[in-house]
Amino acid sequence: MIASDELLERVRSRGFTVVPDALARDSVPRLRERLEQLAEEDLRLWTERPYPGLEGAPYPDGWMVHNPFTRSPEFAALLENEAMHAYLSPLLGATCTLYAYTTSSMPPGGTNLSARVHVDSPRWIPDYPTNVGVIFPLDDFTDDNGATYFLPRSHLSPDAPTEAEFFAGAERVYPRAGDMVVFNARTYHFGGTNRTGRARHAITLNVCRSYMKQRFDYPRLTPKEVVDALGPVGRRFLGFDTRVPASLAEYFVPPERRLYKPNQG
């Protein structure tokens, strides 16, 4: 699959774009169903087995499931989504890796942590994106259910807009379920409020340059059966080609057995 030059240019010049038909439409209902199950499971586990020191605290990332691909093959398959990689490679290089993989849902009558003017990458280097965000909507985004706001061209400035400046210039995106939003993660955005009675679900990935640290140590965190089901693109994306040795025995190995493989940037 090849990215559209016009849409890539929109990411570069305006900071974001909607790419149609990134997912097979018939895969969406199952992803949506699994997302709801995982979100409920997270809340239950948080109450039943709180992390030490956090007993009694509310779940910190409500309506966001972290690392769903470790618990559900439907989410693992997206690590190799061809449309996504067709856009990531020209923007970040064909060696880019996953920084974070979560879900983002707007509950009925509410919103989530993304309802603030924010960027998903604090670094600003002129003409050099370090991180790209990808949103896979699992519901059509509308004004009523919390379509995301983006401030066009805000990735071109080192300065943060005020909230007034943001809303004076922001545009909302209206992808359909199964489309994909691709954005320079330094573009200011804001998650909307869902005023309907049905949850608005989405999957959100943040992708970084190959030599940057990932949010989690995915090669250690990902279950073996998930890794075994992936091909070279999925493994590289998880960080398997850019690991670092933990001993001289792991360092002094032939090139084909190196943990940080040659030509990874």
Ligand X SMILES: O=C(O)CCC(=O)C(=O)O
Q: Which residues bind ligand X (CB under 6 A)?
A: 104, 114, 120, 148, 189, 191, 202, 204
Min separation Cβ 228 and ligand X, Å: 29
| Least CB distance to ligand X at residue 121 (A) | 10
CB of 116 to ligand X, least distance (A): 9
Nearer to ligand X, 110 or 219 (CB): 110
| Nearer to ligand X among residue 76 and residue 181 (C-beta) | 181
Nearest to 12 by CA among 120, 171, 127: 127
How far is Cα 243 from Cα 217, in angstroms, rounded to an integer? 9
Residue pair 108/193 in contact by the 8 Å Cβ criterion: no
CB of 108 to ligand X, least distance (A): 15
The smaller minimum CB distance to ligand X, of residues 185 and 230, is found at 185
* 90-93 contacts at long range (C-beta below 8 A, 24 or more positions apart): 90/3, 90/8, 91/8, 91/11, 91/12, 91/129, 91/132, 91/182, 91/184, 92/129, 92/130, 92/131, 92/132, 92/207, 92/208, 92/209, 93/209, 93/210, 93/265
Nearer to ligand X, 81 or 204 (CB): 204
Cβ closer to ligand X: 22 or 230? 22
Shortest reach from residue 111's CB to ligand X, in Å: 9
